[in-house]
C-alpha cells in the first residue's frame, strides 16, 4: 500500500504542476469528459482504492493518524459521489470548470505540497 500512496503523491505533484503551468489542460479534460459515466465511476473507484491504501498504509507511515484521516475522507468522498447521482456530479464538474485560473493555480500549489507530504510520510 505504501507504493500506492507514493505513486499517488507523485501523481498529485504532477497534476499540481500542470494546474500551475497550464490549468486549461485539466479544465479542457473536465469539459470534454464531464458528462461521461466513466469519469464519475473512475472518481468513485479511485477514492475507494486510495482510501483503503491510506488506511492500510497508515500504520507504517510517519504520520499514521493523518493518513488514516485522509483514508476515511477519501472513502467518505467516494460514498458521497456514489450517492449524489449523475446530475449533481455533472453540476460539480461544471462548477469546477468555472473556477478562475488564479484559484486553479493556487490549488495546484497546494496539491504539490500535499503530494510532497504523502511521499515524505511513506518514505
The DSSP code sequence of 43-78 is HHHHHHHHHHHHHHHGGGSS-HHHHHHHHHHHHHHH
* 56 contacts: CB under 8 Å, gap ≥ 6: 1
* 38 contacts: CB under 8 Å, gap ≥ 6: none
pLDDT band of residue 77 (cuts 50, 70, 90) is: very high
CB atoms within 10 A of CB 31: 14
Give the mean model confidence (pLDDT) for residues 32-38. Answer: 88
pLDDT band of residue 73 (cuts 50, 70, 90) is: very high
Identify the pLDDT of residue 121: 96
Identify the pLDDT of residue 9: 96
Provide the domain count of the chain. Answer: 1
- Mean pLDDT taken over the chain: 94
Identify the pLDDT of residue 30: 87
pLDDT band of residue 34 (cuts 50, 70, 90) is: confident
Identify the pLDDT of residue 36: 87
Asked whether the predicted pLDDT for residue 29 surpasses 90, the reply is: no
Identify the pLDDT of residue 31: 87
Question: What span, in angstroms and rounded, lies between the C-alpha atoms of 117 and 106?
Answer: 17
Host domain of residue 9: 2-122
Question: What span, in angstroms and rounded, lies between the C-alpha atoms of 101 and 85?
Answer: 28
Identify the pLDDT of residue 5: 94
Amino acid at each position: 500500500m505504501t507504493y500506492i500512496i507514493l505513486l499517488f503523491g507523485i501523481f498529485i505533484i504532477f497534476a499540481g504542476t500542470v494546474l500551475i503551468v497550464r490549468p486549461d489542460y485539466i479544465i479542457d479534460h473536465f469539459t470534454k469528459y464531464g458528462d461521461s459515466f466513466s469519469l464519475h465511476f473512475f472518481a468513485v473507484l479511485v477514492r475507494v482504492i486510495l482510501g483503503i491504501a491510506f488506511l492500510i498504509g497508515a500504520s507504517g507511515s510517519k504520520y499514521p493518524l493523518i493518513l488514516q484521516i485522509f483514508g476515511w475522507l477519501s472513502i467518505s468522498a467516494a460514498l458521497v459521489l456514489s450517492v449524489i447521482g449523475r446530475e449533481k456530479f455533472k453540476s460539480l464538474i461544471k462548477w469546477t470548470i468555472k473556477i478562475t485560473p488564479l484559484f486553479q493555480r493556487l490549488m495546484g500549489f497546494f496539491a504539490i505540497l500535499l503530494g510532497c507530504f504523502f511521499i515524505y510520510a511513506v518514505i
